[in-house]
Amino acid sequence: MKKSYDIVVIGGGPAGLAAAVSAYDNGVKDVLILEREPRTGGILNQCIHNGFGLTRFKESLAGPEYAYKFAVEAEKRNIETLTQTTVLSISKDKKVTAINKENGVFTVEAKAVILAMGCRERSRGALNIAGSRPAGVFSAGTAQKYINVKGYMPGKEVVILGSGDIGLIMARRMTLEGAKVHAVAEIMPYSSGLKRNIVQCLDDFGIPLYLNHTVTEIRGDKRVTGVTISQVDQNKKPIKGTEKSFDCDTILFSVGLIPENELTKGMGVELSPRTKGAVVYQNRETSIEGVFACGNALQVHDLVDFVSEESELTGKSAAEYVLNGAKPRDTINCVQGKNINYVLPQKIDKNASGDVKLYFRVSNTFKNCTIKLECNGKELIKRVKRVAAPGEMETLLLKESLIKSLEGDVILSLEESV
Amino acid sequence: MKTVNLTCVECPMGCAIEVQLDGESVVSVVGNTCPRGLAYAKNEVVCPMRVLTTTVKSTDGRMVSVKTDNPIKKSNMFSLMQVINGITVTAPVKIGDIIMKNIEGDVNLVATDCLK
């Protein structure tokens, strides 16, 4: 390990690997990846189900197979990778302080930093559920690691709160391994999971999905013995008399993912309250020059294929910054309007070349709606969609010629059909 | 005559499809809005197929992920899980290694991860 590198990548998951390889291929070979786990690949290593890579490789891969394709590319280029290394802090002037067994606490300097830490599961604590704290309550991802990586079954009788994709995948996984999954309870009127997961993980096994339901009681002293779910009203308040009780020894939570940005916050990068990730330009550069962000640390993606795409763009941008330095910008904002949860990138540099792909999520489920992009009250793009849901990330391509012609901030909104 | 209700998984629309069956033969399909939905429904009611993904243990206690290299009959999933849970592999294992040949017909069980 050296004292300084052109680019230091924080995190060796799919985002970090793709960014590092792309930076290398775009002319910057002095790259270091810092990874907390014993191997690269990130969360994909425990995602043994298939369905990864359909967009990028036109085949249905298991998680470790997808990760391996990128790990091999990094190895071929001899990109230096330190595993079991935890980054403790990053300074504004891009000094990265980390710790591992061999080197203790150490600091490396970087010309550019790529933040690719991924995301974290929202926990029970974040939901304010009353009751005691018996064993047997897990996040879905923790249960996934126990079963798929460690080979332990966390329980036999299961209720799952939240219908995110990991929860759905774990309903199937635990059923196949002999557990009984009694129910999946979702507080929203729709599932945030992919349709194919509802069908192939729940319907295939006759597992009921209770929409508009939440957990109102967890029973048990040393170990969970049961759980009560109740229907909620429009204000998400439990309705008396709608309680359903299940005897179970295990509860899984699959209630959302949050980008992991303690390091980002610590170095003073501007964060978006909507994405919980950094505010970025189209090249994925944050509010600090030479600091870039990509993957689930930036925005929680549905598909790893899009993480790879975004991270390659980010690696290229970081390489361009190292080789050519910063250029003067002409910035406009990209703002979410009616019925849109967020748009990314939040800032567009008009001086930069190339088209810009906007990523966004809508705020509810809509049928036959219209997506509109406006600037100063003028409609620039209008696209009719048969269906849109918060669980499916949407994209909209802005042509370079359109960007050059913009004279102010752009607003993206969704109009319901009348 | 039998009626089967399905949710199409071909796109995010998630059409609710109703299939009328006379024994094994499809009499009518309603609710789909495109030809892909029609094809999905026809396959799904006659013989639903799934790729099975799970893990096998190795002699040193580690787990290695595996999948069937083609879809198997959905109705066979649990019996195959019993077979697979009886398998033990020995490292090294490479991605794509056949863990069990012809686990169903000419479908093989293959490794989806490496064990060094």
Q: What is the 3-state secondary structure (H, E, C) of B104-116?
A: ECCEEEEECCCEC
CA distance A232 to B115: 47
Phi/psi at A131 (nearest 5 deg)? 120, 180
Domain boundaries along the sequence of chain B:
2-46, 53-111
Half-sphere exposure of A155 (CA within 13 A, CB side): 28
> What residue of A is the nearest CA neighbor of B51?
A50
- Which residues does A contribute to its contact with B (CB < 8 Å)? 45, 48-50, 60-65, 68, 147-151, 173, 176-177, 195-196, 198-200, 203-204, 386-387, 389, 392
Average pLDDT taken over every residue of chain A? 95
> Which CATH number describes the domain made up of A1-119+257-326?
3.50.50.60
> Which CATH number describes the domain made up of B53-111?
3.10.530.10
Interface with B, mutate which of A46, A48, A153, A190 (most B CBs under 10 A): A48
End-to-end Cα, chain B, rounded Å: 55
Interface with A, mutate which of B36, B65, B81 (most A CBs under 10 A): B65
Q: What is the pLDDT of residue A195?
A: 81
Domain A329-418 bears CATH identifier 2.60.40: yes
Q: What is the pLDDT of residue B30?
A: 92
Tell me how close the Cα of B115 comes to any Cα of chain A, in angstroms: 11
Q: What is the pLDDT of residue A418?
A: 61
Domain A123-255 bears CATH identifier 3.50.50.60: yes
Q: What is the pLDDT of residue B51?
A: 93
pLDDT tens readout for residues B5-42: 888 887 766 788 999 988 888 899 999 988 888 988 98
> What residue of B is the nearest CA neighbor of A197?
B9
Taking Cα atoms as reference points, which of A307, A72, A68 lies closest to residue B112?
A68
Equal CATH topology for A1-119+257-326 and A123-255? yes
Tokens 């290695």, residue located: B64
Nearest to A148 among B65, B78, B114 (CB): B65
Tokens 């950094």, residue located: A278
Taking Cα atoms as reference points, which of B53, B65, B50 lies closest to residue B97?
B65
Q: What is the pLDDT of residue A44?
A: 97
Domain boundaries along the sequence of chain A:
1-119+257-326, 123-255, 329-418
CA distance A85 to A145: 20
CA distance A10 to A272: 20
Contact B79, B32 (CB under 8 A): no
Interchain pair B54, A48: CB under 8 A: yes
Nearest to A195 among B12, B57, B61 (CB): B12
CA distance B60 to B52: 24
pLDDT less than 50: residues of chain A: none
Whether the model clears a pTM of 0.95, i.e. scores above it, the answer is no
> What residue of B is the nearest CA neighbor of A49?
B53
CA distance A172 to A178: 10
The single-letter code of the amino acid at B34 is C
Q: What is the mean pLDDT of residues B58-84?
A: 95
Q: How would DSSP label each residue in B3-61?
A: EEEEE--SSTT--EEEEEEETTEEEEEES--SHHHHHHHHHHHH--EE--EEEEEETTS
